[in-house]
Amino acid sequence: MIISIDSNSGFCFGVTRAINTAQTELRNGALYCLGDIVHNGQEVARLEEAGLQTIDYDDLRTLPSHSRVLLRAHGEPPSTYWIARQRGIQLFDATCPVVKKLQDRIRACYEAHKNDEALPPQIVIYGKAGHAEVIGLQGQTNNTAIVIENEAQLNLLDFSRPIYLFSQTTKSVEGFQSLVEAIKSQFTDHNSPLAFEAHDTICRNVANRVAQLQAFARENDIVLFVGGTKSSNARVLFNHCLEANPNTYFLSSAEEMSESLINECRAAERVGICGATSTPQWLMEKVRDKLSLIPSF
Ligand code: SF4
């Protein structure tokens, strides 16, 4: 059995930057992180063992002044910065620069159109409602942005008003394009003066991985995709792997490998291990090490 780890899988630069910030700042004193630092339970547990304390918004409102709080790569709405200022909390802002740029674009769009009273604009975010990044993006519009996840939710939009569409950074390019086409088709009068602007703001750190990941999936008989159950990026990339190789399995840890999956791996010639932008390298290595200990036939 040949076991290989995909060299293109693992933390993207935004997540690496946030984790490096956490590790550096943990050396300088107690550190809280607002929400899970990464959508990977195993990596969160590792950093919590090193002293990082994960908190929620209620905790943020009651922390003593001068507490040190890390903002993760997903970014935050303006209200978080306001609360921190009010409470004298010291922030370590590890918002990914790609997310920050998207927040700025959405805020600029909101500011430019918020007073268009005759035809009130709709800022639409193609994303997962309630996702941390999406909460941060909605905050740029005073929470007026409409979040839709698929074409079935197009009924939330008013096609007699302008639409400015943006995307959460980890959504799929194909999904975005098909949503754009579906919105266009709703504007029945093609000479309509109504504005429809589609801004493809998907992070290429994710999108560019798809082709490489699918090529890797095809090279292997069995693919073990390692990712966190809370990660939307992991779900998207897993589905792309599955498309390329139906023998793809989702694991959040090495311990999740069932007896039947181990037997399937035993019978395979090539087993590939890959993961999402939130999957730590050490977790993929643990899966590899567990398989390496299996006596081959
Ligand atoms: S996926 Fe892209 S936008 Fe999201 S944290 Fe990573 S680099 Fe930043």
In tens, the pLDDT along 162-173 reads 999 999 998 889
The lowest-confidence range among 111-125, 186-200, 280-294 is 186-200
| Cα 172 to averaged position of ligand 1 atoms, centre (Å) | 13
Mean pLDDT of the region 179-198:
80
d(CA 72, CA 152): 31
pLDDT at 283 exceeding the cut of 50: yes
Using a 10 angstrom Cβ sphere, with 0-12 exposed, 13-18 middle and 19 or more buried, the burial of residue 188 is: exposed
Which residues, other chains included, contact 11 with Cβ-Cβ below 8 Å and sequence gap of 6+?
A: 19, 38, 277, 278, 279, 280, 281
Which tops the pLDDT comparison, 20 or 192?
A: 20
Report the share of the chain in percent with pLDDT over 90.
81
Domain at 13-96, CATH from 3.30.70.580, 3.40.50.920, 3.40.50.300, 3.40.50.11270: 3.40.50.11270
pLDDT at 2 exceeding the cut of 50: yes
Q: pLDDT tens across 254-277, in order? A: 999 998 999 999 899 999 999 999
pLDDT at 190 exceeding the cut of 60: no
Q: Domain spanning 98-198 has what CATH number?
A: 3.40.1010.20
Which position among 25, 43, 133, 149 bears the catalytic label? Answer: 133
Atom of ligand 1 nearest to the CA of 15: 5
Q: pLDDT tens across 47-56, in order? A: 999 999 999 9
From 205, 231, 235, 278, the mutation candidate for ligand 1 (largest count of ligand atoms within 8 A of CB) is 205
Banded model confidence at residue 233, pLDDT cuts 50, 70, 90: confident
Return mean pLDDT, the chain: 93
Annotated catalytic residue 264: no
Whether 2-9+204-292 shares its CATH topology with 98-198 is answered yes
DSSP string, 157-188: S-TTS-EEEEE-TTS-HHHHHHHHHHHHHH--
pLDDT of residue 297: 41
pLDDT of residue 264: 92
pLDDT at 192 exceeding the cut of 70: no
Domain 2-9+204-292 has CATH 3.40.1010.20: yes
pLDDT of residue 1: 83
Q: pLDDT tens across 194-227, in order? A: 789 999 999 988 888 899 999 999 999 999 999 9
d(CA 39, CA 15): 10
Pocket of ligand 1, beta carbon within 6 A: 12-15, 73, 96, 98-99, 169-170, 203, 205-206, 277
Report the share of the chain in percent with pLDDT over 70.
97
What order do you get walking across the sheet with 146-148 strand by strand? 146-148, 122-126, 163-167, 196-198
Three-state secondary-structure class, residue 109: helix
Q: Taking the CB of residue 154, how many other CB atoms lie within 10 A of it? A: 15
Mean pLDDT of the region 80-94:
97
Q: Taking the CB of residue 288, how many other CB atoms lie within 10 A of it? A: 17
- Ranges of each domain in the chain: 2-9+204-292, 13-96, 98-198
pLDDT at 294 exceeding the cut of 90: no
